[in-house]
Amino acid sequence: MGTGIYFEDLEEGSEFRSPARTMTEADIVNFAGLSGDFNIIHTDAETAAKGPFKQRIAHGLLGLSIASGLVARNPGAEQHKLVAFLGLNWDFRNPVCIGDTIHVVQTVASKRATSKPGLGVVVYDVKVVNQRGETCQEGQWKVMYMTRGKTKA
């Protein structure tokens, strides 16, 4: 089946840390335009300064989207034999602010074979962490992988 990282190669407890990325004002403005979410907590500096976070914050879904992109930049990520992203269970814990630098920590929480030959499901515990070590977002991502053989994993 060639080289790469298959279902069988992942062990429960294995941890992966992504490269980091700094949230910019341009990221927030572009995401607002793309998503249509112009909520003042993201787009109005004066009003946001009077709010609970004392500044504009990134959209929660922007942080999640960037987290997905950061995972795709993990060293060796292109070698993972992924089939599909199946779903997530996600919580927003702390805001991501302009100037925050975030990275993602993924840990293999569980894995199981599927009823379809050649496929397995991996559940990752995932955390988006800022430069202060605070968890901003966390949850689980469920991903389908290819197995090395055509038989049930």
How does pLDDT run across 68-116, given as a tens digit for each residue?
999 999 888 888 899 999 999 999 999 999 999 999 999 999 999 999 9
The conformation of residue 67, written as its DSSP 8-state character, comes to H
d(CA 52, CA 27): 21
Domains present along the chain, CATH in parentheses: 7-146 (3.10.129.10)
For residue range 7-38, what is the model confidence (pLDDT) as tens digits? 999 999 999 999 999 999 999 999 999 999 99
**Tens of pLDDT along 122-133?**
999 999 999 999
Mean of pLDDT values over 126-141: 98
User: Which of 120, 125, 58 is closest to 88 using CA atoms?
Assistant: 125
Give the percent of the chain with pLDDT over 70: 96
Cα separation, 3 vs 130, in Å, equals 34
Q: What is the pTM of this model?
A: 0.91
3-state class (DSSP) for residue 34: helix
Residue 61 has pLDDT above 90, yes or no: yes
